[in-house]
Structure 1
Amino acid sequence: MIRHFTIAAKVALVGIFCSVLLYACRKNDAGKIDNTTPTSSSVVSDEDSLKYLMYRIMQVTYINGGRNKTTDLPTYLWYNQVPQLDPSSNSYTSAEDLLQAIKGYAVTNGELMDRYSFLDRTGDLSNSLQDGLSETFNKVSATGNFGMEVSYASDGNQSFLYIVYADKNSPAGKQGLTRGDEIIAVNGDTNISYDNGSNVQKVTNAIYYAPSVTLRVKKAVTGTIANYSLQAGTFSINPVLFDTVYTVNNQKTGYFVLYTFTNTYNSQGTATLTKTSLDRLFSKFKAAGITNLIVDFRYNGGGSVTTAEYLDSAIAPASAAGKTMYYYKYNDKLTANIDGTGLETNVQFPSVTGGLSLNNVFFITSSQTASASELTLNNLLPYMNVKLVGDTTYGKPVGFITFNISKYDSTHTKQRLADLYAINFATENANRTGGYYKGIAPDQVANDYINVPWGYHTDDDNLDRIFNYINTGSFARTSANARVLTQTAASQRSAIQHSITSPRFNGMVDYRRSKQIQ
């Protein structure tokens, strides 16, 4: 109870500071920050206010805001590598400019560590990750999005444009568009081949930033060609793209594809579609008596850590119950004052895990597998036989505690300035293994043929390798375990990695801690 009272007091202090922010910062003649109350003629702009508060949250203190008594508890993981800066300097036109400057000092052994911190000025990401609602990428004219990802692929001679996945609830998913469908024209334009230039930009704008689009599509399974007219829309995210149970070497093997880590409970405390979908999925696997599990994270850029914890709890063996799932690592000042912050230093498995009895858990990974996905698989390594197949992961062992930066106008109405996502913590598993900034390498490299529909295991190089392992204990193909592919080598079309830049979020966020410390 004492801790809860302390946290509530801090919440009140932050609220007071936010409300007086527009009247609390200006430069003195020496160019330093002056926290005294200015005259009306020196009231700063909203952008200056945003820069000032962002800087203080990251570098100085997240409580009191410098009023009366300052408690030096900066939140930025690499705060001690950043020199004292003047956030109101004309050198920083926007808060993003200041943030970019701060990130530039986070360097270790000559390598830039912070590739991740950013500002969200709309709050759209919080709505998506916390409440499971689709994001709006076109902030001007569109509502929601089409709910699909696309990528170029190559057969070694020419390029092709494919749908990589589509959320079942999205405008694209509801029209039956799915993985492996080939896009042969965009808005009637067939000149869409990969050029790392104008064609790519044209396709990117049409797929991610337009309110509507017409696609001419060749279906993966039937080969039929038809036009599909899509309108951007909002929808409840269903992160499970595909699931099934295989029988491999007389062993029941569960398989599912998860593309994002939306929260299991929304901001009102109600179970989201993510939770109900995962509950249904693991009930199905448990009823089937699976002894192997394949988790497909190849396009999963992460999200909420609570969903990672849900998955780990559902997958882990009974022997992990009550033991450490993972550790948090904060900066030195937060760590030294951890008891007063309300922050936790570790997360434990529940007293009862999901009830599965697995011989192996396989993760299909790629360079797009990031943050909460990496956290999930890393947490299981100390407790069970975990194998990675595919490609080296993105490399993001750090995460965010988001801060809402707001102001109160003359009518005392709260107005959002931005949500700050600046790196606040790193994670390590129970064996204190973390720091995988260069990614986690797979146990077996496999190709990503994006023209292969979900679940076609004889043509999916990742699934085929895993099936070999279950059959023989080896990922390698031999004359004894090779299967006849329905595809010829010429029709195997590998993804051209990073051929299109998606606006979707990549990272992991702990919204529980956000509520605790602000």
Structure 2
Amino acid sequence: MKQHVVNKARRASLNQVFKQNKSFVAVALLGFIGSLSGCKKTTDDVTPKTTTTAASENSTVDNWILANMRDLYYWNDKIPANPDTTLSPDVFFDSILNKFNATTNPDGDRFSWIENDANTLTAELSGESVTTGMDFNLYLRGSSGVIAQVLYVLPGSPAEKANLKRGDIITKVNGQLMTTTNYSDLLFTGTTFTYGLGTVSGTTIADSDQTRNVTATVFQENPVFLDSIYTVGTKKVGYLVYNQFVRGANGSNANEYDAQVDAIFSNFKAQGVNELVLDLRYNPGGYTSSSANLASLIGKGVSSNKLYFREEWNSTVTPYLKQEWGSNFNIQNFLDKPQNIGNNLSRVFVLTTDLTASASELIINGLRPYMPVTTIGTTTHGKNVGSITIADETGKIKWGMQPIVFKSYNSLGQSDYATGFTPNVEVDETSPLLPLGDTNEPMLNEALNQISGNVAGGRRAAVRNPFIQMGSSIQRKAGGQSMIRDIKSLKL
């Protein structure tokens, strides 16, 4: 295929792409337990159209998609030479992806996706969505039944007001038992839900008469869920549950969530914290500016002169980006943070699951060259690539897309976690789920035992969940498993 180049006519459009999105970069959403393909459409167009009109509209959108993908897609050299631009935009987008195949294309694309509403996508990437305010894991019940176990409930949310709590087992929705064929429609369609609760005894799940009525609403999630300080012998242990890398609320420029994290570490420093447990078990990613902020509060001996991570873009757009924004356009250094506690730390513990992804994995990968990082839990998701949100600056095209555009590397040139980080100590969440922050909760308890030295040979046997997990509501979030990178350093 002839090498594609960024021509003059496209340069102004590319500049607008970065500016209109505040120049952020994200790793794309993984389809929820295989129910979503590489592209997704949020609603169906219910307005009847003639075949000719539909084909014309498809062509307009598809050619817009194609132009951007040929410039920016990480695998732009794999795009077909003459794709069918009469297809519906979601189908067309999927048709030009360099799709992952474990056998024939293990380095292919698992994460690019497209939405038919760019504005909704942008809001959700900042933590605002229509939600009940809780997240849950899904497990098989027998051969075809399904249950949902609540992982956490957001303060002030409809779910909290309905008295739902971490560990609750949902077996029914609106009076229907959940199965492998109906659970998706029951849990993710509509806004009004009556949840029927169940109980767990060992590996047995029983239905109960208890119900909870919840109506989903537009809700802004604060990613800073919990912070505590524990005393373990002579150690002061800081603990932070952080569920998404988001700088501030949707539409806010105050970076209030980053400021809240700064304040927590200021307190850690004042209280003499000398061990840190960072709980990222439910953190699917987010803004890498927030990831850099957090890493800069933790890293030992880090400063704005030291590399946190760098990006590798395709050979088409890299020369253009270097010309426009300088040779360091793809570099993210640490920040100089007076709240940094790194000098008091000899290591950091990170609690992980398969929901720990992208910007969370960036923390692990980015800190490892500077200090020991001990992971406790289960293997992380494996997202070392990123994407930008692309929307039409004219507003004529309503679609928004998240194509993969770069791969990330730490200061040692390492990016070898596409299959996730295997935990140093394997511990699974088991029923009943204890409250987050409870020192008997298995994952936190393991970290505290590691700190106290109360482990044989430096580690204990793995604790495993007896139920078969099918997926999680966290994977359905826009920006789930995401790395959203500000490019303010590109002099916009």
TM-score > 0.5, shorter chain as reference? yes
Contact 1:318 1:352 in 2 (8 A): no
Question: Are 2:108 and 1:118 aligned?
Answer: no
1:47-446 matched pairs, under 5 angstroms: 47-59=58-70, 74-88=71-85, 90=86, 93-104=87-98, 110-122=105-117, 123-130=119-126, 132-133=127-128, 135=129, 144-153=130-139, 161-189=148-176, 191-192=177-178, 195=179, 197-198=180-181, 201-202=182-183, 204-217=184-197, 226-264=210-248, 267=251, 269-272=253-256, 274-342=257-325, 344-352=329-337, 354-356=339-341, 357-405=344-392, 407=394, 414-446=395-427
How far did residue 216 of structure 1 move? 3.9
Instruction: Tell me, in whole angstroms, the C-alpha distance in 2 between the residues paired with 1:330 and 1:128.
Output: 25
Instruction: Tell me, in whole angstroms, the C-alpha distance in 1 between the residues paired with 2:120 and 2:90.
Output: 17
How far did residue 367 of structure 1 move? 1.3
Instruction: Tell me, in whole angstroms, the C-alpha distance in 1 between the residues paired with 2:230 and 2:248.
Output: 27
> Which residue of the partner structure matches residue 71 of structure 1?
none
How far did residue 462 of structure 1 move? 1.7
Contact 2:16 2:393 in 1 (8 A): no
Question: Are 2:7 and 1:10 aligned?
Answer: no
Decide whether aligned partners of structure 1 residues 264 and 154 sit closer, same or farther in structure 2, where only a CA change above 3 A counts. Answer: same
Instruction: Tell me, in whole angstroms, the C-alpha distance in 2 between the residues paired with 1:316 and 1:225.
Output: 50
Contact 2:367 2:373 in 1 (8 A): yes
Contact 1:10 1:517 in 2 (8 A): no
Instruction: Tell me, in whole angstroms, the C-alpha distance in 2 between the residues paired with 1:165 and 1:177.
Output: 9
Instruction: Tell me, in whole angstroms, the C-alpha distance in 1 between the residues paired with 2:323 and 2:304.
Output: 28
How far did residue 107 of structure 1 move? 6.9
| Higher RCO (CA-CA < 8 Å; seq separation 6+) | 2
Instruction: Tell me, in whole angstroms, the C-alpha distance in 2 between the residues paired with 1:514 and 1:217.
Output: 47
Once the two structures are superposed, residues 184-226 of structure 1 have per-residue CA deviations (whole angstroms, 9 ceiling, x without a partner) of 543344x34xx5x23xx33x33333221112244799xxx985
Letter in 1 for 2:121: L
Count, aligned residues: 435
Contact 1:129 1:261 in 2 (8 A): no
Letter in 2 for 1:212: T
Q: Which moved more, 1:398-407 or 1:259-268?
A: 259-268
Contact 1:47 1:95 in 2 (8 A): yes
How far did residue 323 of structure 1 move? 0.8
How far did residue 251 of structure 1 move? 0.9
Gaps (5+ residues) in structure 2?
1-7, 21-51, 201-207
Letter in 2 for 1:126: T
The percentage of counterpart residues that share the same residue type is: 24
> Which residue of the partner structure matches residue 470 of structure 2?
498
Decide whether aligned partners of structure 1 residues 402 and 184 sit closer, same or farther in structure 2, where only a CA change above 3 A counts. Answer: closer
Contact 1:324 1:349 in 2 (8 A): yes
How far did residue 404 of structure 1 move? 0.8
Instruction: Tell me, in whole angstroms, the C-alpha distance in 1 between the residues paired with 2:314 and 2:14.
Output: 24
The TM-score normalised by the length of structure 2 is 0.77
How far did residue 450 of structure 1 move? 5.0
Once the two structures are superposed, residues 259-294 of structure 1 have per-residue CA deviations (whole angstroms, 9 ceiling, x without a partner) of 22223475552334x234323432332232211111
Letter in 2 for 1:315: I
Once the two structures are superposed, residues 144-179 of structure 1 have per-residue CA deviations (whole angstroms, 9 ceiling, x without a partner) of 111212224589999854211222242113444232
Contact 1:169 1:237 in 2 (8 A): no
How far did residue 258 of structure 1 move? 1.9
> Which residue of the partner structure matches residue 449 of structure 2?
468
Instruction: Tell me, in whole angstroms, the C-alpha distance in 2 between the residues paired with 1:373 and 1:321.
Output: 20
Gaps (5+ residues) in structure 1?
1-5, 19-40, 60-73, 136-143, 408-413, 483-488
Letter in 2 for 1:114: D
Letter in 2 for 1:95: P
Letter in 2 for 1:97: V
Contact 2:61 2:397 in 1 (8 A): no
Decide whether aligned partners of structure 1 residues 43 and 246 sit closer, same or farther in structure 2, where only a CA change above 3 A counts. Answer: closer
Decide whether aligned partners of structure 1 residues 155 and 465 sit closer, same or farther in structure 2, where only a CA change above 3 A counts. Answer: farther
Instruction: Tell me, in whole angstroms, the C-alpha distance in 2 between the residues paired with 1:509 and 1:342.
Output: 21
Q: Which moved more, 1:116-125 or 1:387-396?
A: 116-125
> Which residue of the partner structure matches residue 42 of structure 2?
none
Contact 2:228 2:437 in 1 (8 A): no
Runs of 4+ aligned structure 1 residues displaced above 6 Å come to 41-44, 106-109, 154-159, 514-518
The TM-score normalised by the length of structure 1 is 0.74
Contact 1:395 1:440 in 2 (8 A): yes
How far did residue 373 of structure 1 move? 0.9
Q: Equivalent residue of 1:314, what SS?
A: helix
Letter in 2 for 1:328: E
How far did residue 417 of structure 1 move? 1.9
Instruction: Tell me, in whole angstroms, the C-alpha distance in 1 between the residues paired with 2:15 and 2:305.
Output: 36
> Which residue of the partner structure matches residue 512 of structure 1?
486
Contact 1:317 1:353 in 2 (8 A): no
Decide whether aligned partners of structure 1 residues 110 and 12 sit closer, same or farther in structure 2, where only a CA change above 3 A counts. Answer: closer
How far did residue 389 of structure 1 move? 0.9
